[in-house]
Structure 1
Amino acid sequence: HAEWIQTDLVRNSRLRYSQQWTLIADSNNHKNIRTVLPPGPCSPLSGELLSELSPTRGLRAVVRETGSQQLLEIWDRHGLRKSLNLSALNIHGRVYDDIRLPVLVRKHTLISSLLYGDVFVSTQDRSVYCEDWGEALTSKSVPVLCVVDLHHGEIDVLQSVPQDVSPGQALWAPCSQAVFFVGWYHEPFRLGLKFCSNRRSALFRLSLDGHCECISGDNLSVSCPRLSPDGSTLIYLQGSVFGPHNQCLSLDLKSGKTSTMLDVVSRPQTGDFAGVYEALPSHCWSADGEKVVFSSAVRNWKDVFMVDRGTKKVSSLSDNLSDLSKVYGSWKLLTVQRDLMVVCCSSPNSPPTLRVGFLPSADETVTWRTLQQPVTTFDYLWTVLDVTPTSDEDNLRYPGLDFGAILVKPSHLLCETGTPVVVFIHGLDLSLAFRRHSASLPLCLHPVNYRGSTGFGQDSILSLIGQVGSQDVKDVQRAVMAALQNDKTLDPKRLAVIGGSHGGFLSCHLIGQYPDFYRACAARNPVINAATLLGTSDIVDWRYTSAGFQFSYDNIPTAETLAAMLLKSPITHAAQIKAPVLLMLGGKDRRVSPHQGLELYKVLKSRGSPVRLLWFPEDGHSLSRVDTQVDCFLNTVLWLTQHL
């Protein structure tokens, strides 16, 4: 059973629908899929916010929104078994839809992570400032853990959670009389949580009678606790506090005492496992509890890996590493059910599709079956470039690092003069995944994984600290020059650069530092002046770290730090910009204030430089609303067409 999301431009919304497959295995070998029956028609899902099956798979819990109300529904094989109006009960605030706050069913009780809303602010205190968890979590401040008794329809808020932590990612302990949860420390003040795996947090065990104990180390960042099928072992991800907000993590195992199952990978060798960089799926254990399966970045692509609990050996489970040019470039594990893995695969020319395969025995490979081919593919070729910095561009603290790039181009030349090149720069990480907007552009797309990107080891990530605005800018330019030298069908006189967030920061740097090289730029919520951003960003820790300074909560800006941040910012090169610039800004962006883009807009306007600004008052940093995405895409295409 799979749930999908599809954009509907007519209704200006995202629709959720479900699809079901039946797999028939051999009677002699249940791990050999003999037949995949075609699925029936897709079924729309209306108003579902969260849903989860019980471990026995006999019950399904659904949190559903109907107008302003939220309902908790329990379904069994005979239909709707119980429905509770959570809004009318008024015991807690609104249930929040986030991967950090799951809903889990066990037997006749349900545990869920719920958040208080503004309704709990008394009238005399309504003007008192209330902290929240930043970008995309506005007004989400004080989460609570709730248990629902399905027999009596009663909801209780679990007490004894430490006052200085916000709980989430809860799951039942084996005895069902306690829960494990992750607690994020929110004192002395909250920092942005979205996209940040470096927040101080800990793993707790809370018994239903109110006893709470911390079971992980201090001054660490933890996430994704997952219990083995027999309940004897807990695994979770662990990383450093502060530093880069997306970094390599260790996979720790707790069974009596705590041990490290997979350590942080500083510098992987070619072809080796590169480390863990993303969240674990909710179901990732093998049926016997001896193996853990997960997906993670490795250089320019994402792969599915299996680690053996006893030997700690890591194995790749995909079938694409032998020839990347002909198969999927991105593999994402969705779930493991009784050793059946379900993965989502895509590549720059192939939209996402589901594949299934059973966990292999020793020295065996996985036999993958595709459930359904994409309805369409795109006539694009893609290749991977490995780029080595020159000696004068090498990082003295982390020497010898290389990086990567991906070249995606139409199979046929569009004109005799060559194909225009759009240099795409990411803000977090990038892999050989499908991007629906990019596939629609009849141009060469050149994404770059500069040093500091995930999938190249922790050394690569750390090398960017203090080097933003120089090392990453030179890496992108080096990758572009390598592509032009390796492929003579590309037109070096028709180059554009696009990117968002840190990618927008680099885009504006490039057109300022190489003003005669690029013909156009499109930037979404770019960092323009790190010095003026310091007091407005929800991740002030990264603002210090990226410039090479140590962060602490009691930091007060100095002339030295502000001057260093200014010198690393695109605004210092704004006078040299010649390329027409399209800016797309979210009015509710908490991570990069929209006044950053406005600062560049005013500078360019005052100098008569071609600039256009799109303002989306109701959108945030990701510019993720359906109407915003359409507007940004169409305007970017028109901008590139006009200037290339």
Structure 2
Amino acid sequence: MDPRQISDVYEEVSGLPAPVGAHVGEEQLAELRVLTVTAEWSQSVVTRASRLRYSQQWTLIPDSNNRRSLRTVLSPGPCLPVSGELVSGLSPVRGLRAVVRETGGRQLLEVWDLHGLRKCLDLTALDRHGRVHDDAQFGCLSWSECENKLLYVAEQSRKKTDSRDGDYARWKDRSVYCEDWGEALAQKSSPVMCVVNLQSGTVSVLQATPPDVSPGQALWAPGGQSVIFVGWYHEPFRLGLKFCSNRRSALFKLDLDGHCERLSGDDLSVSCPRLSPDGSTLLYLQGRVFGPHSQCLSLQQLDLRSGDTSPLLDVVDRPAAGEFAGVYEALPPCCWSADSQRVVFSSACRNQKDLFMVDRRSKKVTSLSHIHSEPPLPPPPPLHLYHRDHKREQEARSDSPEVYGSWKLLTVEKDLMVVCCSSPNTPPTLRVGFLPSAGERVTWRTLQPPVLTFDFHWSILDVTPSPEEDNSQYSGLDFGAVLVKPSHSLHEAKLPLVVFIHGGPHSQFAAEWNSFTAGLAKLGFAVLMVNYRGSTGFGQHSILSLIGHIGNQDVKDVQRAVLTALQSDTALDPSRLAVMGGSHGGFLSCHLVGQYPDFYRACAARNPVINAATLMGTSDIVDWRYTSVGLQYSYDQIPTAEALAAMLEKSPITHAAQIKAPVLLMLGARDRRVSPHQGLELYKALKSRASTVRLLWFPEDGHSLSKVDTQADCFLNTVLWLHQHL
């Protein structure tokens, strides 16, 4: 297989843009109501080894006789590059756009109106704080109601003094360790909330936050005299926050005069506060502390007038077939209906990602992903999609352009939903539709179909563990997988199968666009993406069932899924099987080639967990090292021989001597979650036995190996490895 061909395929599938945010504007022109949809897109460019961002705008004219139907969609405007923007926000009334931009080593706050740049402040020169936070964990940029103030979060300034004592103190403290919030949040330690007064051009740092919390996700409370924020407790020390919805945190309200009060309960995990349009209710997500690092969350509503909190949606332990499976993902920035009575969100649901609406009055949850009517214009290009008929358990072909495996809400404003839809053979597609009234259907319109679609087959497999593999504490659970394959074999009668395993373990492979999977399918491989028990989208019981059973239940689930796929699809070649995955997916990949040494012919693992006992002291989520093997965690935990033995027993390193399949390892030197020494430990164990092993080392990358050039390198080497050994 030609490396140039592989690189060209990856450049094609990874370079397709995806919408990452949207905003809806409204203007009344005489008797004509005009809506604008501005979408922000992200696009990977391998030749530049970077991701570009750009915006694009559409003009929509609703039907004058039916405000929930679109009469006309005008052609979109040109794509406009968004250069150096960290965070941005639109004011609610005048449509002013605030941007924090980084250029020439400085951070600038800009305010734009219809006539151009209205205000520009050099935040670096003002020296009131450190770098502005632009991550989803802490970052925000919120306008006050009067539109004269802006609220954002930045790193606390480490002030210098000019006195002789100050010089000595700086010299004495220059090597003192500063905790940060772990993987992907390095250099983020002590965030502070900052307020810009646009009239005076001054920046003030809000000082009265509790000393034991780090504030983030802040917004203005109604009236503009106080702010609401999430505070993550950082005492006695910080644990990793990325991908962890189990960190102790609370909602706080801070008055500008310095009074601070806690609004949510204690010993909980909260996130994503969202204020209703009428200013009466605050919505937020709530979960447990410790335990699974990702979990099914409840949706809470706080009445800001009475102070009462009540659940809008509870945790779903075990969803019935075809029913809502719970909330597992962050809420979009705007998720309320205009009348403040309905909430829209997207979430994992078994092997897919669906769009849901919940009515506050009835608490009824409705799926909006499957209430369709054909958009009149412009139709997307013909697609060849497949789905699973769960009742008949037979694959059913659908040529309808409305069959998508993933629906992700970007925003809902003016009751217009903007969503990103995709499938394993259909790259991200931008669609819009009005929130339905009772008994009505959603009429979806495609604003931007993908440039390309691909002639792949995809199907969803439902998998049931054998009786001996059932979990006695959580009996009767099933799981699933997504099978993607090329329509026609490139060379052989049967297809080699790559078993792709997600990390987490509490995450999901939705039936959505995945450039790695698409690239493999285009090069002639079938790909089975497995959602073993413990994956999100199957209820809290499924997540809890994996605790204490890693290295056993999840390994058997993947093997069961592979056997199910081979039995149901004769196009797959059982003699040419490979396994790959990252993090916990790498952990399972190495387990599988160790526990089933004659079954798989190749393995590719990214930053895998190899020895949980040696990992414990180096991971930013040490609590998960205990939880995963069924042990309780507390901050003052001291390792015991019994705990270390349990971790070692469940680790792939114990099966290293049985591994026969060639192993490709890809390691990020800056990985804070799974130390690269984990992969090195397996590398040395295999080298000592003269086993076939290759190691790729990425000195500037972390756990996700997310740099554009790193991903291209990993894809090329993985495909060459699979081609060589399959």
**TM-score bracket for the superposition, by shorter chain length:** over 0.9
Alpha-carbon shift at residue 320 of structure 1 (Å): 7.3
- Write the mapping of 1:522-541 to structure 2, written as runs, cut at 5 A: 522-541=604-623
Instruction: For 1:396, give the aligned amino acid.
Output: S
| Counterpart pick for 1:172 among 214, 220, 224 | 220
SS of residue matched to 1:434: coil
| Counterpart pick for 1:58 among 84, 92, 95 | 95
Alpha-carbon shift at residue 323 of structure 1 (Å): 5.6
| Counterpart pick for 2:334 among 274, 278, 283 | 283
For residues 289-317 of structure 1, the C-alpha deviation after alignment (integer angstroms, 9 at most, x for no partner) is 00000000000000010000011000000
The Cα RMSD (Å) is 1.3
Distance change >3 Å, CA 471–CA 404, structure 1 → 2: same
| Counterpart pick for 1:109 among 143, 149, 162 | 149
Would the aligned equivalents of 1:118 and 1:139 in 2 still touch at CA under 8 Å?
no
Distance 1:237 1:328 in 2: 26
Distance 1:465 1:580 in 2: 30
Would the aligned equivalents of 2:128 and 2:157 in 1 still touch at CA under 8 Å?
no
Would the aligned equivalents of 1:501 and 1:592 in 2 still touch at CA under 8 Å?
yes
Would the aligned equivalents of 2:479 and 2:531 in 1 still touch at CA under 8 Å?
yes
Distance 2:130 2:558 in 1: 46
Alpha-carbon shift at residue 123 of structure 1 (Å): 3.6
Distance 1:96 1:205 in 2: 20
Q: Which residue matches 1:3? A: 40
Distance 1:77 1:528 in 2: 56
Would the aligned equivalents of 1:388 and 1:401 in 2 still touch at CA under 8 Å?
yes
SS of residue matched to 1:336: strand
Distance 1:556 1:591 in 2: 20
SS of residue matched to 1:32: strand
Q: Which residue matches 2:84? A: 47
Instruction: For 1:421, give the aligned amino acid.
Output: L
Alpha-carbon shift at residue 99 of structure 1 (Å): 1.4
Distance change >3 Å, CA 323–CA 572, structure 1 → 2: closer
For residues 15-37 of structure 1, the C-alpha deviation after alignment (integer angstroms, 9 at most, x for no partner) is 11111111111111121011221
Pairing 1:483–2:559 present: no
For residues 357-386 of structure 1, the C-alpha deviation after alignment (integer angstroms, 9 at most, x for no partner) is 000000112111111211101110111100
Pairing 1:311–2:362 present: yes
Would the aligned equivalents of 1:356 and 1:371 in 2 still touch at CA under 8 Å?
yes
Alpha-carbon shift at residue 67 of structure 1 (Å): 2.1
- Write the mapping of 1:11-26 to structure 2, written as runs, cut at 5 A: 11-26=48-63
Distance 1:323 1:510 in 2: 28
Q: Which residue matches 2:345? A: 294
Alpha-carbon shift at residue 413 of structure 1 (Å): 2.7
TM-score, reference length from structure 1: 0.99
Distance change >3 Å, CA 344–CA 122, structure 1 → 2: farther
Q: Which residue matches 2:586? A: 504
Distance change >3 Å, CA 118–CA 525, structure 1 → 2: farther
Pairing 1:196–2:196 present: no
For residues 526-575 of structure 1, the C-alpha deviation after alignment (integer angstroms, 9 at most, x for no partner) is 00000000000000010100011000000000000000100000000000
Distance 1:117 1:395 in 2: 51
Distance 2:526 2:689 in 1: 31
| Counterpart pick for 2:669 among 568, 587, 598 | 587
| Counterpart pick for 2:596 among 498, 511, 514 | 514
SS of residue matched to 1:456: coil
Would the aligned equivalents of 1:93 and 1:119 in 2 still touch at CA under 8 Å?
no
Distance 2:171 2:500 in 1: 49
| Counterpart pick for 1:153 among 191, 196, 201 | 201
Q: Which residue matches 1:273? A: 324
Q: Which residue matches 2:299? A: 251
Distance 2:158 2:691 in 1: 45
- Write the mapping of 1:434-583 to structure 2, written as runs, cut at 5 A: 434-441=513-520, 442-583=524-665
Structure 2 gap ranges (5+)? 1-37, 161-168, 373-385, 389-396
Distance 2:259 2:413 in 1: 33
Would the aligned equivalents of 2:53 and 2:82 in 1 still touch at CA under 8 Å?
yes
Would the aligned equivalents of 1:50 and 1:62 in 2 still touch at CA under 8 Å?
yes
For residues 462-496 of structure 1, the C-alpha deviation after alignment (integer angstroms, 9 at most, x for no partner) is 00000000000000000000000000110000000
Q: Which residue matches 1:347? A: 423
Q: Percent identity at matched positions?
A: 72
Q: Which residue matches 2:442? A: 366
Would the aligned equivalents of 2:86 and 2:134 in 1 still touch at CA under 8 Å?
yes
Alpha-carbon shift at residue 119 of structure 1 (Å): 6.8
Instruction: For 2:62, give the aligned amino acid.
Output: A
| Counterpart pick for 2:702 among 620, 634, 643 | 620
Alpha-carbon shift at residue 354 of structure 1 (Å): 0.5
Distance 1:357 1:445 in 2: 33
Q: Which residue matches 2:405? A: 329
Q: Which runs of 4+ in 1 moved over 4 A?
A: 117-121, 320-325
Q: Which residue matches 2:190? A: 142
Instruction: For 2:295, give the aligned amino acid.
Output: Q
Distance 2:387 2:525 in 1: 24
Distance 2:91 2:239 in 1: 34
Pairing 1:410–2:492 present: no
Distance 1:190 1:162 in 2: 15
Distance 1:488 1:320 in 2: 34
Instruction: For 1:273, give the aligned amino acid.
Output: F
Q: Which residue matches 2:13? A: none
Alpha-carbon shift at residue 77 of structure 1 (Å): 1.2
Distance 1:616 1:396 in 2: 42
| Counterpart pick for 2:174 among 109, 114, 126 | 126
Alpha-carbon shift at residue 46 of structure 1 (Å): 1.2
- Write the mapping of 1:385-400 to structure 2, written as runs, cut at 5 A: 385-400=461-476
Would the aligned equivalents of 1:408 and 1:444 in 2 still touch at CA under 8 Å?
yes
Would the aligned equivalents of 1:117 and 1:140 in 2 still touch at CA under 8 Å?
no
SS of residue matched to 1:392: helix
Alpha-carbon shift at residue 89 of structure 1 (Å): 0.7
Would the aligned equivalents of 1:318 and 1:366 in 2 still touch at CA under 8 Å?
no
Q: Which residue matches 2:35? A: none
| Counterpart pick for 2:111 among 56, 74, 77 | 74
Pairing 1:431–2:498 present: no
For residues 447-469 of structure 1, the C-alpha deviation after alignment (integer angstroms, 9 at most, x for no partner) is 00000000000000000000000
Would the aligned equivalents of 2:61 and 2:70 in 1 still touch at CA under 8 Å?
yes
SS of residue matched to 2:329: coil
Alpha-carbon shift at residue 437 of structure 1 (Å): 2.2
Distance 2:157 2:105 in 1: 13
Distance 2:94 2:481 in 1: 44
Number of residue pairs aligned between Structure 1 and Structure 2: 644
Instruction: For 2:316, give the aligned amino acid.
Output: V
Alpha-carbon shift at residue 319 of structure 1 (Å): 2.4
Q: Which residue matches 2:166? A: none
For residues 326-352 of structure 1, the C-alpha deviation after alignment (integer angstroms, 9 at most, x for no partner) is 411011000001100000000000000
Structure 1 gap ranges (5+)? none
Instruction: For 1:62, give the aligned amino acid.
Output: V
Distance 2:41 2:182 in 1: 27
Distance 1:534 1:473 in 2: 21
